[in-house]
C-alpha cells in the first residue's frame, strides 16, 4: 500500500467512527444537525401550547370507553334554526351508510356491512353519551367520525338522530 492509500483509507475509517457516535457532545461528531434538531417524540404534539397559555375553545370531553361515555351530557344549547345544520351534518357524515331515515339503507351499505336500523327501541334507549362515543370513536366495524366532526357537530347529529327516531 502506498502511503497515500493508507492515509485515504484511515481518514475514511476515522470519519465512519466519528459519525457513529450517539453523543452530540462527542468531539469527533462530524455532523450533529440531524441529532440536535428540534424533533419531537413519536406521537407527540408537534406544537405544544406555550407555557401559561389558556385554551379558549374548551377541553374536549374525554371519551375513553363506552361505559363512562354513556354519562356524557350535551353541553350546548341549540336553537330551532340549528335543526337544519343538524340534518345537513347527518346527511353528510352518516347518510352514506345509515341512510336518510337512519334505517341502515344508505348507498354505501350495499357495498359495506349493512349498518343496524338506528330507529329501533334499542337505539332509542341508548344514552346520548353512548352515541357521542360511537360517532367519535367508531364501534366495531364502523369507522370513527372524529376527524370529520367537532364536539358541537356530534351533538347536533345526535339531535337529528333523535328527531328521526320520533318519526
The smaller minimum CB distance to ligand HEC, of residues 27 and 140, is found at 140
How far apart are CB 115 and ligand HEC at their closest, in Å?
3
How far apart are CB 85 and ligand HEC at their closest, in Å?
13
116 binds ligand HEC (CB under 6 A): yes
Residue in 156, 109, 108, 112 with CA at minimum distance from that of residue 132: 156
Window 39 to 98, contacts with ligand HEC (CB under 6 A): 93-94, 96-98
How far apart are CB 102 and ligand HEC at their closest, in Å?
8
In the block, residue with C-alpha cell 348507498? 107
In which region does residue 104 sit, left (phi positive, over 0), alpha (psi from -120 to 50) or beta (all else)?
left
Kindly give, in sequence order, each residue whose CB lies less than 8 Å from that of residue 74, ignoring residues fewer than 6 positions away. 128, 155, 158, 159
Residue in 40, 164, 147, 153 with CA at minimum distance from that of residue 102: 164
The smaller minimum CB distance to ligand HEC, of residues 29 and 82, is found at 82
Window 128 to 157, contacts with ligand HEC (CB under 6 A): 131, 134-135, 139-143, 145, 157
The smaller minimum CB distance to ligand HEC, of residues 115 and 129, is found at 115
Kindly give, in sequence order, each residue whose CB lies less than 8 Å from that of residue 85, ignoring residues fewer than 6 positions away. 156
How far apart are CB 39 and ligand HEC at their closest, in Å?
35
Q: What Rg value do the Cα atoms of the chain yield, rounded? A: 28
Residue in 76, 40, 43 with CA at minimum distance from that of residue 57: 76
How far apart are CB 159 and ligand HEC at their closest, in Å?
11
Binding site residues, ligand HEC, CB under 6 A:
93-94, 96-98, 108, 112-113, 115-116, 118, 123, 131, 134-135, 139-143, 145, 157, 161
Amino acid at each position: 500500500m502506498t502511503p497515500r492509500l493508507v492515509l485515504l483509507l484511515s481518514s475514511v475509517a476515522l470519519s465512519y467512527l466519528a459519525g457513529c457516535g450517539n453523543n452530540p457532545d462527542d468531539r469527533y461528531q462530524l455532523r450533529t444537525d440531524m441529532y440536535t434538531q428540534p424533533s419531537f417524540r413519536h406521537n407527540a404534539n408537534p406544537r405544544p401550547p406555550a407555557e401559561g397559555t389558556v385554551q379558549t375553545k374548551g377541553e374536549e370531553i374525554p371519551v375513553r370507553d363506552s361505559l363512562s361515555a354513556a354519562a356524557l351530557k350535551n353541553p350546548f344549547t341549540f336553537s330551532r334554526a340549528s335543526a337544519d345544520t343538524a340534518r345537513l351534518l347527518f346527511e353528510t357524515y352518516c347518510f352514506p351508510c345509515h341512510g336518510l331515515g337512519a334505517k341502515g339503507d344508505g348507498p354505501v351499505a350495499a357495498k359495506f356491512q349493512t349498518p343496524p336500523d338506528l330507529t329501533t327501541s334499542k337505539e332509542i334507549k341508548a344514552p346520548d353519551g353512548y352515541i357521542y362515543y360511537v360517532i367519535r370513536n367508531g364501534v366495531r366495524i364502523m369507522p370513527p367520525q372524529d376527524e370529520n366532526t367537532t364536539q358541537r357537530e356530534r351533538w347536533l347529529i345526535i339531535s337529528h338522530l333523535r328527531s328521526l327516531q320520533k318519526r
